[in-house]
Each structure stands twice: as C-alpha cells, then as structure tokens.
C-alpha cells in the first residue's frame, strides 16, 4: 500500500470540487478511527492543506464576482457582500 500524497504535494490545477472530495475522504478516514497514528497525522495535515486550498479558491471566486458585477452602465467593479 502506498502512502497518501504529502500535504504540500498539491496538484496545481485541482478544482474546488476535487479538493472538497479529497477533504471528505480524509475526514471519513479519520472518522473511522482505525488509522495508525502516523497515518492519521498525515491525513490530518493533508486535510489542513486542503481546507486552505479550498479557502483560496473561494476567495479567488469572490474576487471574480466583485470584478464582474453588472451595473447600470455595463460591467463594473463592486465589492462582493455575501
């Protein structure tokens, strides 16, 4: 059995959905409670990196929305307020 990729081995072009799916797999493995300590730590570290990656992707999407908001004179830049 091969070890999961290191937390810093993040593919450059992974989509938000792919990162979330990987994060869900890590959480499920940790929730099962049957991982050896070292493997659980690696999985936890990978999960932390995936959470950060997802936040960065969401921040980038929010920035795009702010930049491409349509106004009365066409597209205009406005801040995004959730």
pLDDT at 66: 73
Q: Which domains does the chain have, with CATH numbers?
A: 16-76 (1.10.287)
pLDDT for the residue numbered 1: 45
pLDDT tens per residue across span 7-21: 455 446 899 999 999
Given pLDDT bands bounded at 50, 70 and 90, which one contains residue 64?
A: confident
Please state the rounded mean pLDDT for residues 27-55: 95
Q: What b-and-e string marks burial along 42-80, b requiring 16 or more CB atoms within 10 Å of the CB?
A: bbbebbebbeebbeebeeeeeeeeeeeeeeeeeeeeeee
Residue 56: what pLDDT?
A: 94
Nearest of 4, 7, 17, 2 to residue 46 by alpha carbon: 7
pLDDT for position 8: 52
């Amino acid at each position: 059995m091969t070890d999961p990729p290191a937390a810093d081995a993040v593919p450059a072009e992974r989509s938000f959905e792919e990162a979330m799916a990987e994060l869900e797999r890590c959480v499920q493995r940790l929730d099962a409670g049957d991982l050896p300590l070292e493997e659980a730590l690696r999985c936890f570290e990978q999960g932390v990196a995936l959470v950060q990656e997802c936040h960065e992707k969401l921040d980038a999407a929010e920035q795009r929305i702010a930049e491409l908001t349509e106004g009365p004179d066409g597209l205009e830049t406005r801040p995004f307020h959730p």
